């Protein structure tokens, strides 16, 4: 896949993150001093310490969640924490795509006079907007938030949300061959001589490192990208970390980092390093299925309900009519309902599936993830964790068979 085609999915974000208001005048070196001093041997290979890497991912996993569940939270604080909880669950299980779909027509109508379509392009509820903004904020590395976000009331309680701590949320002393960054007008921290071949060409990238990186691809400012760092850049990073540990500051920096633009999916697909999730707003349940960003669509669609079939020891990922066979799937979609389940979603006009009466007919599999549950209800955020944990062995096996 062309790397430039995925850049669009990272846009729609503006300046001044909520987490940066008190730190706006602080130098990057001071902010990361503790991180650097904790590493006495030079740069820190995070893969040697934390099991971030797995098998290269050959399939994708998408999860669809109704927007209305954030509206059910009793306060802004609980609403923010709920989104953070979901973002962490999604990240722990390596989900590629979160689809937030509108499930309440009344909520959309009540918010029809909203002033901005920066985050969601179609008419949407305030719950959808809140959900999408906070999910994108949490997925963005901390060192990019100041550039890509501006503060508003939807981020007021971002400090209550636990970080997802995904591999692409790297500290300044940590090293991976890939790094996320944002295009900047020019080098701000590097004060030395720029190579002749790099002058007035390519782009400069803030990657959360002591100095900027240069890539040969010309892109617009504030574009969020993934770059693959050059081998020379690793040596430079190791030297800078070593100097800081010895002297408590950077010695004169005579070089800068270099790399090349790659697709956002490259680290996960080639190296098994989870690289975050994408957020897709959908204006209806119908849009969840019909507006997939994958050309071939979703080849396995799973619905969750207490009225579904239990996942037992004989369970296998399969499509209708082929239950006895074990198959492999490229794009898997799991759909969750809200307080009233998928049946309630279908009964609302926002669903846009007027002829469908039984939700199970929409899916290849309709499963019950907790037979004989002892509580009257399972909340959506609980169902997400239960479902992903229960299906994980089958999803990993599916990936091996591709």
pLDDT in tens, 230-268: 999 999 999 888 888 777 777 678 889 999 999 999 999
Angle at 285 between CA 282 and CA 289, to 5 degrees: 80
State residue 315's pLDDT score: 83
Mean pLDDT score, 281-294: 96
Nearest to 335 by CA among 82, 100, 129, 94: 100
Which candidate, 18, 19, 11, 279, places its Cα nearest to that of 131? 279
* CATH class, 178-271 region: mainly beta
User: What pLDDT does residue 296 have?
Assistant: 92
Neighbours of 305 (CB within 10 A): 20
Q: How far apart are CA 101 and CA 123, in angstroms?
A: 12
Helices (H), 301-376: 341-347
Burial of 155 (0-12, 13-18, 19+ CB in 10 A): buried
What CA–CA distance (Å, rounded) separates 6 from 2?
A: 7
Q: Token match 């009540």: residue? A: 110
**Cα–Cα distance measured from residue 211 to residue 400, given in angstroms and rounded to the nearest whole number:** 40
Amino acid 191: pLDDT? 81
Q: How far apart are CA 39 and CA 60, in angstroms?
A: 35
In the DSSP assignment, the letter for residue 23 is: G
> pLDDT digits over 378-400, tens only?
999 999 999 999 999 999 999 99
Residue 221's contacts (CB-CB under 8 Å, 6 or more residues apart) are 183, 184, 185
Ranges of each domain in the chain? 58-164+276-401, 178-271
Would the CA dihedral through 105, 111, 116, 118 be positive or negative? Answer: negative
Say yes or no: domain 58-164+276-401 is CATH 3.40.1280.10.
yes
pLDDT at 11: 54
- What are the pLDDT digits (tens) for 5-25? 556 555 555 444 454 444 333
Nearest-10 Cα torsion for 284, 285, 286, 288: 100
53-74 pLDDT per residue, tens: 688 999 999 999 999 999 999 9
Position 28 scores a pLDDT of 42
What is residue 25's predicted lDDT score, i.e. its pLDDT? 38
Mean pLDDT, residues 179-203 taken together: 91
Four-residue CA torsion sign, 33, 35, 41, 44: negative
The answer for residues whose C-beta is within 8 angstroms of residue 88's C-beta and 6 or more apart is 162, 164
Helix extents (H) in 21-66: 28-31, 33-37
Return the structure tokens found at 132.
Answer: 């999408």
């Amino acid at each position: 896949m062309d790397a430039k085609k995925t850049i669009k999915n990272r846009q729609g974000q503006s300046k001044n993150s909520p987490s940066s208001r008190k730190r706006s005048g602080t130098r990057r070196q001071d902010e990361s001093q503790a991180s650097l001093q904790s590493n006495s041997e030079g740069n820190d290979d995070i893969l040697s310490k934390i099991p971030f890497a797995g098998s290269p991912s050959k399939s994708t996993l998408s999860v669809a969640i109704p927007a209305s569940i954030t509206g059910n939270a009793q306060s802004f604080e609980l609403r923010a924490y709920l989104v953070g909880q979901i973002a962490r669950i999604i990240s722990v299980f390596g989900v590629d795509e979160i689809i937030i779909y509108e499930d309440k027509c009344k909520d959309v109508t009540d918010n029809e006079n909203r002033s901005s379509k920066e985050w969601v392009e179609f008419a949407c509820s305030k719950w959808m907007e809140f959900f999408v903004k906070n999910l994108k904020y949490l997925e963005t590395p901390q060192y990019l938030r100041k550039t890509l976000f501006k503060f508003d009331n939807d981020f007021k309680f971002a400090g209550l949300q636990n970080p997802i701590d995904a591999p692409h949320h790297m500290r300044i002393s940590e090293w991976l061959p890939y790094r996320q960054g944002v295009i900047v007008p020019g080098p701000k921290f590097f004060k030395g001589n720029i190579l002749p071949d790099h002058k007035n060409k390519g782009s400069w990238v803030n990657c959360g490192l002591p100095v900027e990186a240069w890539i040969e691809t010309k892109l617009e400012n504030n574009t969020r990208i993934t770059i693959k760092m050059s081998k020379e850049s690793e040596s430079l990073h190791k030297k800078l970390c070593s100097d800081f540990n010895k002297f408590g500051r950077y010695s004169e920096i005579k070089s800068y980092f270099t790399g090349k633009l790659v697709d956002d999916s490259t680290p996960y697909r080639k190296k098994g390093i989870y690289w975050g999730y994408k957020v897709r707003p959908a204006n209806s349940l119908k849009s969840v299925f019909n507006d997939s960003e994958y050309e071939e669509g979703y080849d396995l669609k799973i619905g969750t309900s207490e009225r579904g079939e239990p996942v037992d020891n004989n369970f296998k990922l399969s499509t209708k009519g082929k239950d006895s066979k074990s198959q492999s799937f490229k794009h898997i979609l799991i759909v969750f309902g809200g307080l009233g389940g998928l049946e309630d979603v279908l009964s609302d006009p926002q669903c846009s599936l007027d002829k469908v009466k039984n939700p199970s007919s929409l899916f290849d599999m309709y499963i019950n993830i907790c037979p004989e549950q002892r509580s009257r209800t399972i909340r959506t955020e609980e169902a997400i964790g239960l479902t992903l944990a229960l299906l994980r062995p089958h999803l990993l096996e599916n990936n091996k068979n591709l």
